[in-house]
Chains A and B, each alone.
Chain A
Amino acid sequence: MVEPSFYIRKLDQDDNVQHFKLGNEAFLPLKTFLQKQAKAFQQSNVAQTYVALTDGIIAGFITLTCSEIDLQENYDLSDCSHANNYEYLPAVKIARLAVDSRFRDKGIGSALVDFAIALIRDRVADSVGCRFVVTDAKIEAVEFYEKQGFTALNSYKADVSDYHLMFLDLDIL
């Protein structure tokens, strides 16, 4: 019998990543990333992947990496005018998020994002400074991220790309 619960922890180099199923060719890059790249990214400290495990099976994963937001022009940051002199604002990016097709609709994806928001706000931002969480969401995922508190920028409505930048301001939670 499958456990009615899951654990979240960092991806381990010994984890079996070969049985992860997504059930749709459109998601193939996510599966390929987990199976062929995630461990190397982790080992080289380029990105960290956290997995949701149930009965020892990877049911979902989220990958986080450092990022920055470049507004190309001057800021007008009302709550910290000193920061207006800097060219970029610090962010963490949700680079990958996927849930195995056998474990959908169990709250695993939203739990991974909730976990990431708390991790970034309370551990990363609290330790080294980080203002935003950002992600490039596929159009099918925009509603999901909006429910998690993310905001989509204009280009989403203009529908000019397959991916839509979404962000969450950690300073006004």
Chain B
Amino acid sequence: MAIKSSTFGRVELNGSDADKFLQIMNERKINPRASAALKRGREILKRVTEGQSIEFKHNG
């Protein structure tokens, strides 16, 4: 087991998981999904700060 993680605490990585973590971190490749989440999140954070509501997502 190369990962130890407690629900309310720290994460320990070693072996191949630590290697993958370092590899991804040092590639510094922009993740478009994460960037999109941050963009949406900033709009939500603004609404939360201003006490405004957020629309439900409409499916279909």
Contact = CB atoms under 8 A, between A and B. Distances in A.
Nearest to A136: B5
A156 B21 CA distance: 13
Contact of B36 (A3, A149, A168): A149
Interface residues of A, number: 66
Interface of A: 3-9, 41, 46-47, 52, 65, 67-73, 75-79, 88, 91, 93, 95-96, 105-108, 110-111, 113-119, 121-123, 134, 136, 146-151, 153-155, 160-161, 163, 165, 167-169, 171-173
Given A105-B59, A117-B37, A172-B29, A71 B7 contact: no
Interface of B: 1-3, 5, 7-14, 16-18, 20-22, 24-26, 28-38, 40-42, 44-45, 48, 51-57, 59
B33 A173 contact: no
A78 to B, nearest CB: 5
A82 B27 CA distance: 18
B41 to A, nearest CB: 3
B56 A119 contact: no
25 contacts: A3-B53, A4-B56, A7-B48, A41-B8, A52-B54, A65-B9, A67-B10, A70-B11, A93-B11, A96-B7, A105-B57, A113-B37, A113-B41, A114-B44, A118-B41, A118-B44, A134-B5, A149-B31, A155-B17, A165-B17, A168-B31, A168-B34, A169-B31, A172-B34, A173-B35
